[in-house]
Amino acid sequence: MDRRRIERLPVDPSRGRFRALARVRQVASRLSFLVTWATIAWVSVPPVTDAGERQERCAAAAPLRIANLSPFHIPYAAPASFGACALAPGETEAIVSMDMASHMLSARSGSESLALDGETWRPSLTLRHGVGDGWDYTLEVAAVSHGPGVFDGFIEGWHSTFDLPQGGRDTTPRDRLRISHARDGRGRVDIDRAVSSAGDLTLGIGRALGPSVLSNDGLALRAAVRLPTGDEDALAGAGGLSAALWAETSGQLWKPDWLYGAAAGALAAKPPRALSGVDRGFVLFARLGATWRPLADLALSVQADVATPPYRSSLAPLGGPSILFGMGGRLRLAPRATLEIAVTEDDGWRRAAPDIGLHAAIRWHL
């Protein structure tokens, strides 16, 4: 048969669908295999019987307190983790945190456009108090500010050193602020000057169920309510009351100095008025971290945080899932004081999380 004639033969579109279906089944099979063996390895690890040792391991295994500080995702940011154990009765923990995120992206699809260029800062103070029988209560106050990119030069150097994509940073003027979103010819958000505001006030409660429920460190159920004290026009908070419910667990992996921490839950929130009508009203979120303790006072962690999209949008940074990777650790400075630091990156695909972020916190047990 003539080769040119063969090339003109129509292609059966069902073949592509069959190949895609086969690929999906192959990936699902591999994932189920990994999940099965991970579950077997998890449940085969014996629980720790000493309460003091379990409390110490809980603190080391708890996920890093990183957060998605993309301005449009702040109203739907997942609550930070506290771990699978509650504080002892009468014990109080104070956490002073400073988080910074740098933004650089522009996206357009049809009549919708988005632009982010600048930095977001979020200092916070969290108090947690144990009241006995596995219960503890939390209070968090925070502030949010959006401003020009002070760390643009440092971040360009970081990306260059580790051969990471610049995302347009090296061709864009430094030290400027632009947060904008337009849809159907209407400008919904347009911030080009530095803004600051108090963040939403968070009240939380947690109940640690202990190792009798799950092996290792057990399971903690937590809930939080956010009061709309932040300026929604400055994208510093939600447009109304929001609430979250989630569960946390942690424990030992294959060796005593290798730990895991995990959390999963849901958050319902009212968006800022400028984004009403394009929101979904809730997100599902999860995080998973692995920690190595080379020394008794040092823990090194890697972590992944994921969340479903909070908006109905054809733009991936708004209408796609957010994926935030964290790398950092904790260093015990004194018997009751611990320093936590981390660097965060987005997935480089959806870009629903900041391009890069820095996190630092000091935790005191009072």
Dump pLDDT digits (tens) for 21-49. 444 454 455 445 444 444 444 444 444 44
pLDDT at 45: 42
SS3 letters for the chain? CCHHHHHHCCCCHHHHHHHHHHHHHHHHHHHHHHHHHHHHHHHCCCCCCCHHHHHHHHHHHCCCCCCCCCCCCHHHCCCCCCCCCCCCCCCEEEEEEEEEEEEEEEEEECCEEEEEEEEEEEEEEEEEEEEECCEEEEEEEEEEEEECCCCHHHHHHHHHHCCCCCCCHHHCCCCCCEEEEEECCEEEEEECCCEEEECCEEEEEEEEEECCCCCCCCEEEEEEEEECCCCHHHCCCCCCCEEEEEEEEEEECCCCCEEEEEEEEEEECCCCHHHCCCECCEEEEEEEEEEEEEECCEEEEEEEEEECCCECCCCHHHHCCEEEEEEEEEEEEECCEEEEEEEEEECCCCCCCCCEEEEEEEEEEC
- Round to whole Å and give the CA distance between 317 and 70: 9
5 — pLDDT class (breaks 50, 70, 90) = very low
Per-residue confidence at 105, pLDDT binned at 50, 70, 90? confident
Given a cut of 50, whether residue 10 has pLDDT beyond it is no
Nearest to 80 by CA among 342, 352, 347, 277: 342
Report residue 233 as tokens: 């026009």
Residues 6+ apart with CB under 8 A from 208: 84, 85, 86, 134, 135, 136, 218, 219, 220
pTM beyond 0.95: the answer is: no
Indicate the pLDDT class of residue 164, thresholds 50, 70 and 90: low
Of 124-128, 171-175, 207-211, 226-230, least confident by mean pLDDT is: 171-175
pLDDT tens digits, residue range 327-354? 999 999 999 999 999 999 988 777 899 9
Q: What is the pLDDT of residues 108-137, one digit of tens each?
A: 988 899 999 999 999 999 999 999 889 999
In this predicted structure, what is the pLDDT of residue 185? 77
CATH number of 68-365: 2.40.160.40
217: tokens are: 């460190």
Bridge partners (DSSP) of residue 316 are none
* Count of C-beta atoms within a 10 Å radius of residue 209: 16
pLDDT value of residue 215: 63
Least confident of 48-52, 128-132, 284-288: 48-52
For residue 61, with 0-12 CB atoms within 10 Å meaning exposed, 13-18 middle and 19 or more buried, which class applies?
buried
pLDDT at 298 over 50: yes
- Residues ≥6 apart with Cβ < 8 Å to 314: 109, 110, 112
Of the two residues 163 and 305, the one the predictor is more confident about is 305
Taking phi over 0 as left and psi of -120 to 50 as alpha, with beta for the rest, 132 belongs to left
Q: Provide the pLDDT confidence category of residue 170 given band limits of 50, 70 and 90.
A: low
